[in-house]
Amino acid sequence: MKIRVHNQETGPKISKYIYGQFSEHLGRGVYGGIYVGRNSDIPNVRGLRLDVIQALRKIHVPVLRWPGGLFADTYHWRDGIGPLDQRKKIVNTNWGGVTESNHFGTHEYFDFLNQIGAEAYISVNIGSGTVQEMRDWTEYMTMPADSPMANLRRKNGHDKPWRVKFMGIGNEPWGSGGNMRPEYYSDLFRQYQTFLPQYDKDHLIKKVACGPNEDDYNWTDKVMNIAGDYLDGLSLHYYTLPTGDWDHKKGASTGFPTSEWYSAMEHAKLMDRLITKHAQIMDKYDPQKRVSLIVDEWGEWHDVEPGTNPGFLYQQNSLRDVLSAAITLNIFHKHADRVRMAEIAQMINVLQSMLLTKDDQMVRTPTYWLFDMYQKHMDAQLVNFDTSLPHNVTGTASQKNGQLTISLGNYDLTQDQQLEFTFDTAPQKIVSTQIITGDKMDAHNTFDRPNTVTLKDYRGSQLENGLLKVTLPAKSVVSITLE
């Protein structure tokens, strides 16, 4: 099959924020995953795991959503500031009923962001919090002048304000975040955003409203209609369940049947329809596309690993996660004119993670390697193909800094694919070709065998007289960079 790459036309920019992450006070996402405390034997910088920081710096995480999720609507920021031994202990009623020490709070979050080089995306508590609480927290974080909250921040050891790039007002208000109707939430959003203080006029905090759950198009319509003029972003939550069944069995992370490989791919592909339809509704109210669609929770959600706390959402991560994430990221690229941020759930030890930790050990998951591979698409201009790709193949192309990158995933479990590409402007050479694959569909990394699935150089591409030939092995993602 021959595919033409229209690399002379410039598409929209694929925002780097599409590669954002989410970390909630859930299971071992924060405690054990990010934060171990200064007195830990695990190497750390001010309590933050060094191995984790080093791994995340390499993939240039652009933004980190925190502190939830459901947890956000029970989080009171004052519990997480001041001397550690005086911080209030609470029970995390959302996730496992465990004690939350509040040792990871606002200062630790910004320290972590600073160490990994990411920007802040704060979720504000509207479930059990107040407008005043949001106002005070924002003043605490971002006020440069002499003010009560800024002075409290100084007393706690941080003189300069931090920068908050994005702020989400609530979390899933259509469900556990308040069981609200869209009309009520929209009015609440209008109220909260009115009192959100903006002290840095050159860097206004971008206001994100809670958007729909999956295919709730009525929600999008109502929020855009009632609050559309007041928001910068509207969120969407959609998880990929291999079985599609929330109530009984979502499906195992490894040792799953072939049918659950393919159904996971089909469920991942649904993201395209969801974005298309929500974007059409947004176009009605915002034809200039001022408001971003922000997919701030996505990823594969499986049954927890046997023997682990069901409230901790700890799951393994395999080659299947790589292929389904490639499908999803390629869909985000396709909709780059509207989708300008996304956060995979979640960063460490929870759902579809980048990293897994056990005591002092850390392993990079197959999904981590996909995020590493796809860095070449961050902030690159989208490039289109002239035709659809074969069934079971997902692909995307973009260019930046004079280089063109084509990334292709073949989720057929047995058939390789031979693809040929021609170009509007022929590249002169292949700069690199990389592959992520494995010998089994559930190939994954463990603490004993951490390098079963990684990013490797690959020799399956040739460029001759402007024709690029690619051999795409079964169950693999291949990325070719040309110039």
Q: Which C-beta is closer to ligand AHR: that of 192 or that of 423?
A: 192
Residues 6+ apart with CB under 8 A from 99: 89, 90, 91, 92
Q: Which C-beta is closer to ligand AHR: that of 172 or that of 321?
A: 172
- Smallest distance from ligand AHR to CB 178, Å: 12
Residue tagged active-site, from 24, 100, 139, 297: 297
Instruction: Let me know: does 170 contact 188? Beta carbons within 8 Å.
Output: yes
Q: Indicate if 108 belongs to the active site.
A: no
User: Concatenated DSSP letters for 152-163?
Assistant: HHHHTT--SPP-
Q: Indicate if 100 belongs to the active site.
A: no
Within 10 Å of residue 433's Cβ, how many Cβ atoms?
19
Q: Which C-beta is closer to ligand AHR: that of 24 or that of 372?
A: 24
The residue sitting closest to ligand AHR, measured at its beta carbon, is 69
Q: Which C-beta is closer to ligand AHR: that of 108 or that of 172?
A: 172
Residue tagged active-site, from 172, 260, 300, 343: 172
SS3 226: helix
Residues 6+ apart with CB under 8 A from 150: 139, 140, 143, 144, 161
Contacts with ligand AHR by CB under 6 A lie at: 24, 68-70, 171-172, 297, 345-346, 351
Find the helix or strand (DSSP H, E) in which 185 lies: helix 182-194
- Smallest distance from ligand AHR to CB 94, Å: 7
Instruction: Find, among 329, 320, 328, the residue nearest to 261 by Cα.
Output: 320
- Smallest distance from ligand AHR to CB 346, Å: 6
Find the helix or strand (DSSP H, E) in which 480 lies: strand 476-482
- Smallest distance from ligand AHR to CB 177, Å: 7
Residues 6+ apart with CB under 8 A from 234: 208, 209, 211, 220, 223, 224, 278, 282, 291, 292, 293, 294
Within 10 Å of residue 188's Cβ, how many Cβ atoms?
20
- Smallest distance from ligand AHR to CB 92, Å: 11
Q: Which C-beta is closer to ligand AHR: that of 68 or that of 178?
A: 68
Q: Which C-beta is closer to ligand AHR: that of 124 or that of 443?
A: 124
- Smallest distance from ligand AHR to CB 233, Å: 16
* Nearest-5° Cα angle at 32, 123 to 118: 45
Active site residues: 172, 297
